[in-house]
């Protein structure tokens, strides 16, 4: 086999490293982005607090803890034999506490605690996984290997178990506890099983020898030394500063998209299927993005991706801003003229019929579905006075508020279309912007201190992930409209874009230097 052709193939170490993205991406999809946020918001929202607000705070707590620990963990992991051990600890933490979430789904507070700890495990393992990139490949293959990691993650962990989970939810019903628990348990099992190649074949090859006089103080001196190196190299500092801002938007969009859609009243199944489109589009686009970086430069590829994300945020803001007034008007008349008037029911059939009606009233085919519910319940039990009251109240509500209902239905339909469009757009850039950011940074740093430098790289990303959800949650709380939270993301993307554009000469100097 010709040498050039052989070098294009991935080695066993490279494939094993890539396979961890296949393993852990199911957590990013099922737990962080698509299924679990909807489950959590629906459960926590019934406590009197807004579920997406608690979700935002949970994300921020987890990412803040990892951000604080990242430089310390990075400095320790650079010593011989430590990186693999720490990686294993965080993987097992994530796997175990993800599994435990399925056992406490009757308590939203315990679910949130389980999510926070499992996310710390996930994020911590990703820190060490990223830094292993310098151990498994060379600079000339780094963009390709990094991009293939994201690509395999999208087509594998983010698609196969995701589709299986969706199938279970469709067959058993989205609110079915068995289907919900299955989507969480399969996450743990898939994550653990497909991490085995990494455990077996990937080892730390670049490291610092631990000396006999090593102390905790020595570790902190190394951290300060690395921080000084980053700040003194202007190009590297500007790069991680830009990364801090634009990756904030990327991470927040991943984390709050379905929670945001749920608060707006979009259909759960539709949102999940739209996110499946994101995964399918992201696989080839992640590989294509590496080619763009090779042809035009990593900086230009990142600028293009940020521009796309800015447009996505504009659409996301409009999606909520145009829907929220109609949603508010609908909820007000629904409460005043339907649910409040039927609050004193005691008959089980009447209560079930009332709740079914409240869930159907915003649907375009509400009348047909309602007739089916009437047939169902009147066949099961003869109509009584309370059932008659529900039917009469429903008919009166529908007749008095047809204009409000139709405007709300139209707004939901428009927002659903926008959600699908944004899901497709996110798929074109989500994997690429993360892969190129990771590989570009990996080329700029000393290989034997990769974990220490990636620790700082990670802290920029993690603190950004603290800022974004907090801004979303706080602005949503202050204004009473979640759509305004999206405006903060637009600002963060624009700041990152400006730094990348205006810092061109410093990036070129940094590339020349390396």
* pLDDT in the model for residue 255: 72
Look-up of token digits 């907090």: 470
**Structure confidence at residue 217 (pLDDT):** 58
Task: Kindly report, residue by residue over 433-442, the tens digit of the pLDDT.
Answer: 888 887 777 7
Domains of the chain and any CATH numbers? 12-206+215-326+413-513 (1.20.1250.20), 328-407 (no CATH)
pLDDT tens, position by position, 360-380: 665 555 555 666 666 665 555
Cα distance between residue 252 and residue 470, in whole Å: 10
Kindly give, in sequence order, each residue whose CB lies less than 8 Å from that of residue 378, ignoring residues fewer than 6 positions away: 387
Distances (CA, A) of 56 to 30, 246, 263, 268: 17, 18, 13, 19
Assess whether pLDDT exceeds 80 at residue 139. Answer: no
Poorest-pLDDT segment among 58-62, 166-170, 226-230, 495-499: 226-230
308 Cβ contact partners less than 8 Å away, ≥ 6 residues apart? 425, 428, 429
Tell me which of 175 and 102 has the higher pLDDT: 102
Q: Is the pTM of this model over 0.85?
A: no
**In whole angstroms, what is the distance from residue 430 CA to residue 249 CA?**
11
**In the block, residue with structure tokens 């869930």:** 359
Handedness of CA 432, 433, 438, 441 (dihedral sign): positive
Q: What is the DSSP string of 388-446?
A: HHHHHHHHHHHHHSHHHHHHHHHHHHHHHHHHHHHHHHHHHHHHHHHHHHHHHHHHSS-
């Amino acid at each position: 086999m010709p040498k050039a052709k052989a070098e294009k193939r991935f080695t066993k170490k490279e494939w094993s490293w890539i396979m961890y993205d296949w393993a852990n991406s199911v957590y990013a999809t099922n737990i962080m982005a698509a299924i679990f946020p909807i489950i959590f918001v629906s459960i926590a929202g019934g406590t009197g607090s807004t579920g997406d607000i608690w979700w935002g705070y949970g994300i921020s707590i987890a990412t803040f803890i990892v951000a604080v620990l990242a430089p310390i963990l990075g400095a320790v992991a650079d010593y011989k034999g430590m990186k693999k051990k720490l990686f294993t600890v965080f993987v097992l933490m994530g796997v175990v506490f993800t599994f435990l979430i399925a056992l406490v789904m009757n308590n939203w507070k315990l679910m949130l605690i389980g999510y926070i700890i499992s996310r710390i495990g996930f994020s911590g393992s990703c820190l060490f996984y990223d830094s292993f990139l310098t151990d498994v490949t060379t600079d000339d293959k780094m963009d390709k290997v990094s991009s293939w990691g994201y690509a395999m993650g999208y087509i594998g962990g983010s698609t196969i178990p995701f589709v299986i989970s969706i199938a279970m939810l469709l067959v058993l019903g989205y609110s079915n506890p068995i289907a919900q628990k299955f989507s969480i348990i399969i996450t743990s099992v898939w994550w653990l099983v497909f991490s085995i190649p990494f455990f077996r074949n990937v080892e730390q090859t670049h490291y610092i020898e631990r000396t006999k006089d090593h102390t905790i103080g020595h570790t902190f001196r190394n951290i300060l030394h690395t921080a000084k190196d980053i700040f003194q190299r202007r190009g590297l500092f500007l790069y991680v500063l830009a990364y801090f801002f634009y990756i904030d938007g990327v991470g927040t969009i991943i984390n709050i998209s379905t929670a945001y859609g749920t608060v707006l009243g979009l259909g759960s199944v539709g949102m999940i299927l739209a996110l499946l489109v994101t995964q399918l589009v992201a696989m080839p686009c992640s590989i294509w993005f590496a080619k763009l970086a090779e042809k035009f430069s990593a900086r230009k590829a990142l600028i293009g991706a940020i521009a796309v994300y800015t447009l996505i945020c504009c659409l996301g803001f409009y999606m909520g801003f145009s829907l929220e007034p109609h949603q508010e008007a609908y909820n007000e008349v629904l409460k005043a003229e339907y649910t409040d008037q039927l609050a004193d029911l005691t008959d089980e059939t009447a209560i079930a019929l009332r709740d079914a009606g409240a869930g159907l009233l915003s649907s375009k085919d509400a009348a047909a579905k309602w007739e089916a519910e009437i047939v169902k319940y009147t066949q099961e039990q003869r109509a009584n006075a309370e059932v008659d009251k529900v039917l009469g109240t429903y008919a009166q509500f529908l007749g008095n508020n047809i204009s409000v209902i139709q405007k709300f239905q139209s707004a939901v339909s428009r927002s659903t279309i926008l959600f699908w469009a944004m899901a497709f757009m996110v798929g074109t850039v989500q994997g690429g912007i993360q892969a190129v950011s990771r590989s570009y940074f990996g080329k700029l740093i000393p290989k034997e201190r990769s974990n220490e430098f990636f620790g700082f790289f990670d802290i920029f990303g993690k603190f950004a992930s603290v800022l974004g959800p907090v801004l979303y949650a706080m602005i949503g709380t202050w204004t009473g409209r979640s759509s305004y939270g999206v405006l903060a993301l637009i600002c963060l993307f624009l700041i990152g874009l400006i730094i990348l554009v205006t810092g061109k000469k410093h990036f070129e100097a940094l590339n020349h230097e390396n």
